[in-house]
Amino acid sequence: MTASRLDQETAYGTAFFDGQRSGARRSAGAVVPPVVELLRPRSVVDVGCGLGTWLAVLRDHGVEEVLGVDGDYVDRALLEIPGDCFRAVDLTEPFHLDESFDLALSLEVAEHLPAGSSVGFVESLTSLAPVILFSAAVPYQGGTHHVNEQWPEYWASLFREHGYVPLDWLRRQIWARPDVEWWYAQNTLLYAHADYCAARPDLEDIARRTDPSRLTLIHPEAYLKAVGWDERARRAREDLDRMLPGEDSFLWIDQGELTGAVAGLPGALPFLEREGEYWGPPADGTTAVSELGRMRARGASFAVFAWPAFWWLDYYRELGEYLRTRARCVFENDRVIIFFLPESSEADA
């Protein structure tokens, strides 16, 4: 067994694929319908298919013939497609299948292959179908066994050698969808052979409007991950667990930037709030103080400012003065500031 083969079997075990399954299914549920509507494929091959989740969703949307291709390390018992629809192939080497397909997929796969495999991998993909749905991790994206992260322009240059042009059509449709994993939203492009586009005016128009020198986009969630946002949010959650009594309601003031950071924490209330949902920042300091009093009367004992909203305390002067003089600051660091709110009668005094 080669070192590369051993690395793959170690990296891509059951836990790896199980960790991907739910996010892949949600994402496929959003991506597949517009792709099927645009291309009407009857046959699809997925290169680097994992457990075949994307192919299973494509079958649910009427695709008649599917084939999954991946390494021999995939546990056949966990496949979401019939076993005879899977073929084991060493993706680190150029490969050729006897069949051709209407559409080929390769989603977040190429970064797992050695850099020396890139040219052969793209050549193999272009031998399978006239149009390819492709995504691959960009530099510093991070992930399990990412050994070949490249910018989209790099892959576009390899596809161009085989007459394929990029179509940046899908990303604008899925960019802000919460059910699509950010790496799919950020990296997924269509590549179509120029002759195929010439026979489809709609695709030719998309190709004409796609600038092949400006394919790199960085999703906000990727940026936040890079600057340690998730870790800071996790530590802010630990601050709350440590400082706040579990039975007390509190106002969570984050300007809507930390969705999920306090998910499941009893008593968390958004501020400003309408019908239990975050309503945006206050119009002015007087409104902020008024809303604070309203929420205190509804039982909120604490006001917790997360770092994205620290500026409120200076910008909304009346709010800052009220909290610093009427409330009591019980905890403060670079992640959260926690005020114990006065009773309504004290606040009015």
- The answer to whether residue 223 is domain-embedded is no
What gap in Å lies between CA 304 and CA 262, rounded to an integer?
Answer: 11
What gap in Å lies between CA 58 and CA 16, rounded to an integer?
Answer: 22
Question: What is the chain's pLDDT, residue by residue, as a tens digit (349 residues)?
Answer: 233 444 554 445 555 455 466 789 999 999 999 999 999 999 999 999 999 999 999 999 999 999 999 999 999 999 999 999 999 999 999 999 999 999 999 999 999 999 999 999 999 999 999 999 999 999 989 888 899 999 999 999 999 999 999 999 999 999 999 899 999 999 999 999 999 999 999 999 999 999 999 999 999 989 888 888 888 888 998 999 899 877 789 999 988 777 666 656 778 888 988 887 888 888 899 999 999 999 999 999 999 999 988 999 998 999 999 999 999 999 999 999 999 998 864 555 4
Are residues 91 and 117 in contact, defined by beta-carbon separation less than 8 angstroms?
yes
Do 202 and 233 belong to one domain?
Answer: no
Q: How many CA atoms lie within 13 A of 202 on its CB side?
A: 4
Q: How many distinct structural domains can be found in the chain?
A: 2
Do 166 and 235 belong to one domain?
Answer: no
The CATH number of the domain holding residue 12 is 3.40.50.150
What gap in Å lies between CA 319 and CA 292, rounded to an integer?
Answer: 9
pLDDT tens, residue by residue, 272-324: 888 878 888 888 999 999 999 999 999 999 999 999 889 999 989 999 999 99
- What confidence score (pLDDT) does residue 233 get? 87
- The answer to whether residue 40 is domain-embedded is yes
- The answer to whether residue 29 is domain-embedded is yes
Do 262 and 328 belong to one domain?
Answer: yes
- What confidence score (pLDDT) does residue 4 get? 46
| Residue 234 lies in domain | 228-348
Q: Which pair of structure tokens corresponds to residue 96? A: 């050729």
pLDDT tens, residue by residue, 228-277: 888 888 899 899 989 987 778 999 998 877 766 665 677 888 898 888 78
What gap in Å lies between CA 51 and CA 328, rounded to an integer?
Answer: 54
Q: Which of 218, 240, 264 marks a domain boundary? A: 218
Do 12 and 33 belong to one domain?
Answer: yes
The SS3 assignment for 340 reads strand
Q: Which of 160, 191, 218 marks a domain boundary? A: 218
Q: Which pair of structure tokens corresponds to residue 295? A: 């929420």
- What confidence score (pLDDT) does residue 35 get? 98
Do 238 and 203 belong to one domain?
Answer: no
Global confidence as pTM: 0.71
DSSP 250: E
Q: Which pair of structure tokens corresponds to residue 236? A: 């802010």
Do 239 and 274 belong to one domain?
Answer: yes
Are residues 11 and 145 in contact, defined by beta-carbon separation less than 8 angstroms?
yes
One-character DSSP codes across 95-130 = ---S---SEEEEES-GGGS-GGGHHHHHHHHHTT-S
- The answer to whether residue 38 is domain-embedded is yes
Is the omega angle on the peptide bond into residue 313 within 30 degrees of 0, that is, cis? Answer: no
What gap in Å lies between CA 345 and CA 349, rounded to an integer?
Answer: 6
